[in-house]
Structure 1
Amino acid sequence: MSQYQRLLLIINPALRHSPAINHAAALAKASGASLHIAALAKPVEILSLLEENVREKARKSYLQDHTEWLKSQAKNLRGRGIEVTMEVAWADDLQQDILDHVTEMQPDLVIKQTQHESALKRAFFTPLDWRLLRHCPVPVYLVGGDAHALPRKVVAAVDVSDTAPANSELNERIIQQATSVALQCGAELHLLYACDISAVYMTDMGGLALSDLTQDLRRNDEQSFLNLAHRYGVPADRHHFILGQPVSALSEFASEQEVDVIVMGRAQYHGLEKLVGSTTEHILYQVACNVLAV
C-alpha cells in the first residue's frame, strides 16, 4: 500500500500558472491518493475602500471567478483518473488556515509552491514556507524550479555527524520517505551527505593543512555514511559523500545532477536559528527543484 492516501495542495488562486497542480496531480496519480485542492485567497486590500454592499459583491465575484477556474482544473484531473475535491476561500491568516486544514483533513502530505522571499524581507519577517516547515505536523512538499512533475531522481540528504538517537531516527525517516517516493514514481534513489570541514583549518609550515582531528572526523563521518548506505542497499554509484557547506554543496549537486526532489529533515529550532533559518529552509531559495521536508 502507498504511504500516501490523502494529499492536500495549497495554492494561491491568483497564480494560475503555478506548476504545483501538475506536481500534486502526478504524485496523486502515481500513489493512488486522493487530492484536495484548497485555493486560499488573501483579502484584496483595495476592496476595503469600497462601500460595504459593493465590497461584498466584489468579494463574491472574485471568489466565483476563481471557483469556476478551479472547477475546470479539477474536471481535467478527474479525466486523468485522479480523485479530486476542491474549495476556494478567503484566508485572513494564511498560516493558521493551512494548519487548520491539516488538522481537519489529516493528510499524509501538504504540497505547496515555494514562495521566494528576498534576503532583506527574511531579515525582518519569517517567510510563510519557513513557518510551515516549523509548525506543520505532516511532511511538506515544496514545489520549486523546473523539476519534472513526476520525479525521476530523488535524493535523500542525511546528516551523519550527529550520532544522537533522535538524529539517527530522523535519517531513517528521510531515507524511508525518499525510498517510498522513488518506488512510487519509478525514480532513481540517491543518498547524500555534505560534510562541512571548512572551519577546522590550521596553519602549518607549508601553508594551510587539515588537522589530524579534522581528518579523523572526516573519516568517521565517511564510514558512518557508508554504513548507512549499505544498510539501505544504496548502490555505490548512487551514494555521495561530498565536502562543503551544506546549502551550497546541495545546491551545486542538485543542479549538476538534475535532481527533481531533495528529501531533508526538519530540525528543532534554538536561539539564532529561529531568526536566520536552518539548512532546509535556506535550500528553498537555492535549488531549482522540489524539497520534501520530514
Structure 2
Amino acid sequence: MIKYQRILVVVDPVAEAQPALHRAVSVAALEENAAITLFLPIYDFSYEMTSMLSSEERDEMREGVIQGRAEWLQSLLTPYQDSNIRFDVKAVWHSRPFEAIIQQVQEGNHDLVVKSTHKHALIQSFIFTPTDWHLLRKCPCPVLLVKERDWPTGGHVLAAVNCCSDDTAQEALNNKIITESAEVARLLSSKLHLVNAYPITPVNMALELPDFDPHAYNAAVKKHHERALYEYAVRFELESKELHLQEGLAEEVIPRCADEIGASLVILGSIGRTGFSAALLGNTAEHVIDKLDCDVLVLRPDAT
C-alpha cells in the first residue's frame, strides 16, 4: 500500500494561484499524519555580481531575500491553518532549481513531489530543458504535475502501461504503475482504467517483403497485446470494460484515451532517459504531459 505522507510542494514564485499546494492538501487529506513542505529555490545573479559589497554583506542580502520569501510561503498556508496537516516552509538560494528540489527530496526523505505545470514551447523543450523535464528524468520519488482541473470523487484514473516489452525492468515498472494506480484510485473512490498502445504496421515491411500480409501482421500484434493486457487485468482484478487497447504511438493514444473516459489523473512511468538521446527524442512521458488537460503522476522504476 502506498503512502504519500512526506509531500514536497514546489511553489511557483510568480503565480497568483498555487494549484500544486491545493492538490497536495487534497492528497495529504487522504492520509494520516501527512506533512507538506512548501519549497522555493530562489536565485538572483545580480546579488552575486555586486562588487561594491563584501562577501559578508552579500551573504546578509541573500539571507534577507530568503527570509522574505519564507514569510511569503508561510502566508500561502493561511487558508489551510485549520487542517490537521503538518506544514513546513523552506526557501533556499540555488541557481539550478531542479538540483535544489532533488537535494531537498533526498534530505527530507520525501515520497511525493507536487508541482504545477503548463505547456512548454517546442523550442524551449528542445533546447532549454525545463525543470519539469529534469524532475521526470532524475527525481527519485514520484512526481505529480498539476494542471487546473480538480479531482472529482468517483472519477476515472488512467494507468498507462507497455505490455509487450521483453524487458524485465519494464514489466516491473508496469506492475508498480498498476499497483500504485489501484491504490490512488481507491483513495479517490475512482475507477481504474488501463491503456496500452500497440504499434502501427511498418510501411517499409510491406514494401520490402512481397508476401507480407499487413492485415495478418496487424491482427497478430493486436492479439499479442490483448493477451498481455488481459493477464494484467486478471492479476489486478480489473474488468474488460476498464481495458483500453489502441493502435498508434503512446503519446497520441494516452491523451486520446484520457479524453474519451474523462480521466482526472493519468499515471505513467518514465525511464528517465538522459543525455543526447533525451535532447533529441525526449521521453514518452514528456510528450504525453503537454497533450493532457488533467494531472499526471509520473513514477520511476525502483532502484536496483
Q: Please, what TM-score do these two structures have when normalized by structure 1?
A: 0.87
Match of 1:249 in 2: 253
Match of 2:221 in 1: 217
- CA–CA distance in structure 2, aligned partners of residues 40 and 149 of structure 1: 31
C-alpha distance after superposition, 1:51-110 (max 9, x if no partner): 548977875665454333321222432312211111223321212111110110111111
Post-superposition offset of 1:38:
0.8
> Matched residue of 2:73: which SS?
helix
Match of 1:24 in 2: 24
Q: CA RMSD in A?
A: 2.8
Match of 2:139 in 1: 136
- CA–CA distance in structure 1, aligned partners of residues 247 and 296 of structure 2: 21
Indicate conservation of the 8 Å contact 2:198/2:249, yes or no. Answer: yes
Instruction: Say whether residues 1:66 and 2:54 are aligned partners.
Output: no
Q: After superposing the two structures, state which structure 1 stretch, 149-158 or 127-136, moved more.
A: 149-158
> Matched residue of 2:230: which SS?
helix
Instruction: Say whether residues 1:284 and 2:285 are aligned partners.
Output: no
Match of 2:210 in 1: none
Match of 1:156 in 2: 159
Instruction: Say whether residues 1:95 and 2:86 are aligned partners.
Output: no
C-alpha distance after superposition, 1:150-181 (max 9, x if no partner): 78321111011203221111100000111111
- CA–CA distance in structure 1, aligned partners of residues 127 and 239 of structure 2: 44
Which structure 1 segments of 5+ residues have no match?
A: 204-208
Instruction: Say whether residues 1:274 and 2:278 are aligned partners.
Output: yes
Which structure 2 segments of 5+ residues have no match?
A: 208-212, 300-304
Q: Which amino acid aligns with 2:36?
A: L
Post-superposition offset of 1:149:
7.7
Q: Which amino acid aligns with 2:134?
A: R
Post-superposition offset of 1:217:
1.3
Aligned length: 290
Post-superposition offset of 1:218:
1.2
Pairs within 5 Å for 1:226-241 = 226-241=230-245
Q: Which amino acid aligns with 2:29?
A: K
> Matched residue of 2:229: which SS?
helix
Instruction: Say whether residues 1:43 and 2:44 are aligned partners.
Output: yes
Instruction: Quickly say closer, same or farther: Cα 1:194–1:21, change in 2 above 3 A.
Output: same
Indicate conservation of the 8 Å contact 1:77/1:84, yes or no. Answer: no
Q: 2:88 aligns with which of 85, 90, 106?
A: 85
Instruction: Quickly say closer, same or farther: Cα 1:271–1:35, change in 2 above 3 A.
Output: closer
Indicate conservation of the 8 Å contact 1:12/1:40, yes or no. Answer: no
Indicate conservation of the 8 Å contact 2:195/2:257, yes or no. Answer: no
- CA–CA distance in structure 2, aligned partners of residues 4 and 151 of structure 1: 20
Q: Which amino acid aligns with 1:31?
A: E
Instruction: Say whether residues 1:118 and 2:160 are aligned partners.
Output: no
Instruction: Quickly say closer, same or farther: Cα 1:50–1:75, change in 2 above 3 A.
Output: farther
- CA–CA distance in structure 1, aligned partners of residues 39 and 268 of structure 2: 25
